[in-house]
Amino acid sequence: MSKPIRASSVLPGHREDIELHTADGLRLVGELALPADRPPAATLICLHPLPTHGGMMDSHVFRKAAWRLPALADVAVLRFNTRGTSSLRGTSEGAFDAAVGERYDVAAAIEYAEFAELPNIWLVGWSFGTDLALKYGCDPAVAGAILLSPPLRFSAPEDLATWAGSGRPLVALVPEFDDYLRPAEARERFAAVPQAEVVGVPNAKHLWVGDAETVLDEIVRRVNPAVAVPLPTTWDGPMETGDVSAYADRTVASFADTPVPGPLANRAD
């Protein structure tokens, strides 16, 4: 009998705790989720929102990706805490470095995926994570990048120029009511990257609350086009229930009035 897929639904898959080791000597905690009984067709490396504002590897879109996409779309999901970031998985060593030292975190995640021979590697950044993808993700091992709510805060024009020169796919999912960068302005800013695709998402906001399914559909549409979207909303088979209550006090919205270090410090992420 089919059961509805809810926010707490964990579909079948092989999930293991992993550690990443950076070139500057830090240990980062993470998880790799794989399809239960077949090789993945694509891989997502998730770069989370700003940790000083509650962002972490368990931020809800990435948690749902790890719990659903291995079963629904044959997609591997690698998520981790950047330096100094905590979640139930644990705390990564080091301290938040305003998108400077995090270059080593991105490199360590890509290196792990390469070493594990994971196929068709895509970066998925969300908010602060989009700046990390733009600054440090244009790597020969990376097929492309998907940006969720890109604020273009820490990245610079030269980062967009690097992506433009690479020819690699760059997809920006921009909420209609984003707090920092809305679709019309995003199209102007990303015009510097000829291959960039800017997708405005009606009625959505920066945190994608209520719109995670739309985001997952758009991700799968790019990374594994052989899978039909929209993805199923029910599941006929074994399904576990994950604990989401522990994250209620760590939502990005809880930190909306906290000053942000780094460029545009007068805004929240």
Average pLDDT (31-56) is: 97
Task: List, for residues 83-119, the tens digit of each pLDDT value.
Answer: 999 999 999 999 999 999 999 999 999 999 999 999 9
Task: List, for residues 70-84, the tens digit of each pLDDT value.
Answer: 999 999 999 999 999
Kind plus residue range of the DSSP H or E element containing 130: helix 128-136
- Strands 3-4 and 234-235, bridge-based pairing: antiparallel
> CA 45 from chain center: how many Å?
7
Prior bond of 259 cis (ω within 30°): no
Are the C-beta atoms of 43 and 121 separated by less than 8 Å? Answer: yes
Full-prediction pTM beyond 0.85? yes
Task: List, for residues 152-192, the tens digit of each pLDDT value.
Answer: 999 999 999 999 999 999 999 999 999 999 999 999 999 99
Would you state the pLDDT for residue 13?
Answer: 98
In order, the DSSP letters of 132-157 are HHHHH---TTEEEEEEES---SS--H
Model confidence at 1: pLDDT above 90: no
253 band by pLDDT with thresholds 50, 70 and 90: very low
Architecture of domain 3-223: 3-Layer(aba) Sandwich (3.40)
Q: Domain-by-domain residue ranges, the chain?
A: 3-223
